[in-house]
Structure 1
């Protein structure tokens, strides 16, 4: 595994803007009867004390920026980012289809005043069924496709929409472990590609978020705050449980009951001397409709106790 060596300390203090996302309300899909209506999500995220949200799956929230601006503004909410899914390791053959998906999301994110687009790599096994879709490791050619096309995506998204892409390491994708995250960072231009560090996914895949922030701090453009239950995770790993079923088992848990400890993560992020969004994402699909609100309220109070 590639080792991480600490970078020089950086003076100054970051400004952390805390928010939440549809994911914390059990929302994984644009339309699903198991999910709460978008109006209820907006009501409850505001009630929980958050000011910032992500757009979630494209089509879950209204895609008309006039309507969405009206609905968010009257609740005191602002949008930090949109989210897109990509399979750029497949090469030029997927570029046009990928760009069409990205453009829809980028147009809405830009219209809502967001500055970021969270980019999630495609899964190598289906997150619902667990069906293996392709090998879990990339060939050298696929790595070249992934890095070069991600740079192209970063350049074009910035030039056309004024947004910064932040690539999200994710369980059951090819950017997951410390080894693969470091390989991806070392293979991409820091001016074009930043990272959305999801503390839960990185722990799920064996990584140390504080270590990554201290080593690659200049590449951390965005945070997702999340924890994993170590006991459930141990069983998930031992039995090679796919991510979707693992979430249904509760592998992503309410802070501060899991790992990593979020206080040290936020402390490390504060030392970067940059503005950062830290968006809470507790994967809970599927979940009872009354479950998210009290969890969100307790999580917001906990983060305040950590100084965020």
Structure 2
């Protein structure tokens, strides 16, 4: 599709933002294999996964003919005391990307997912009584806006919010609450098809609903069979990922053709980032990345 470029991300190789006590491949292998499997961009990964010196970062990303398009920044937004540190973390990442010569990259802001036991243990089956109250929602929205405003004021860069299972912004209702409470000119949406489906939503309907609020896209598929097993067996978020709840594109129930058609109608001209989250040491990431790129090519992307 015209104007859309396709990237992958270190999380597809097991380089996740979570402290899981297992080693993922190093950044050289990840970047090399992203390029070899047909992608033209990457996200930064967790702080320290790639070089934190801007010259070294630019050198290694360009060595593999890739563009750097964003960086994930988790912040426990429900805790007001964490907002200052969240702003500092976001500015550190934004500064690195800007100084490395990637001023159009996004800060991908998210809740500090996987750290609240109740939400982590119930990912994909969150009950209404497990959500935030009005004061907590105001606190989350205020923190997100503080981050987005600081990044824009300091570096002129944009911030998008990534809804995510095992966090406080998982379900369609929770995402809608945050979008309603925040400024659409200042905070965009990083829409993730797989997390939205696992969280109980219908991705095509959401793309239609949020339209131009979507500034960044993550393509992830969702296996409803594994999702059902997660519910019946009581798996937590990490066990669900280990069991393959986020499967190769085209093997789950996300209608990517309709998602792409809707993005086209919305005149989306940004990046599509393929993410097939794996835990460190799982599977064959390069093979999956290749298969996912072939699948998208068959859809004209």
Same fold by TM-score, threshold 0.5 exceeded?
yes
Q: Where do 5+ consecutive residues of structure 1 fail to align?
A: 1-12
Closer/same/farther in 2, CA of residues 158 and 264 from structure 1, 3 Å limit: same
Greater relative contact order: 1 or 2 (C-alpha under 8 angstroms, separation 6 or more)?
A: 1
Give me the TM-score of the superposition, normalised by structure 2.
0.90
1:184, distance to aligned residue in structure 2 (A): 1.2
Aligned twin of 1:25 = 13
1:259, distance to aligned residue in structure 2 (A): 2.0
From 28, 31, 43, the equivalent of 1:54 is 43
From 232, 240, 246, the equivalent of 2:240 is 246
Question: Do structure 1's residue 102 and structure 2's residue 96 form an aligned pair?
Answer: no
Deviations 1:44-71 (A, max 9, x none): 1110111100001111011111112111
Aligned twin of 2:152 = 158
Aligned twin of 1:82 = 71
Closer/same/farther in 2, CA of residues 138 and 206 from structure 1, 3 Å limit: same
Higher helix fraction (1 or 2): 2
Deviations 1:264-304 (A, max 9, x none): 1111111112321110110111334x711111111111111
Q: Secondary structure at the match of 1:253?
A: coil
Q: Using the alignment, how far apart are the partners of 1:176 and 1:29 within structure 2?
A: 17
Q: Where do 5+ consecutive residues of structure 2 fail to align?
A: 123-128
Closer/same/farther in 2, CA of residues 284 and 126 from structure 1, 3 Å limit: farther
Deviations 1:188-227 (A, max 9, x none): 1111111101000000011111111112202111110001
Q: Using the alignment, how far apart are the partners of 2:221 and 2:10 within structure 1?
A: 17
Q: Using the alignment, how far apart are the partners of 2:232 and 2:212 within structure 1?
A: 35
| Structure 1 segments of 4+ aligned residues over 3 angstroms from their partners | 29-33, 124-127, 129-132
Q: Secondary structure at the match of 1:89?
A: coil
Aligned twin of 1:9 = none
Question: Do structure 1's residue 115 and structure 2's residue 105 form an aligned pair?
Answer: yes
From 176, 198, 204, the equivalent of 1:204 is 198
Q: Using the alignment, how far apart are the partners of 1:68 and 1:30 within structure 2?
A: 22
Q: Using the alignment, how far apart are the partners of 1:148 and 1:45 within structure 2?
A: 36
Give me the TM-score of the superposition, normalised by structure 1.
0.88
Correspondence 1:214-293 to 2 at 5 A = 214-288=208-282, 291-293=284-286
Closer/same/farther in 2, CA of residues 131 and 253 from structure 1, 3 Å limit: closer
Figure out how many residues of one structure are paired with residues of the other and give that number.
291
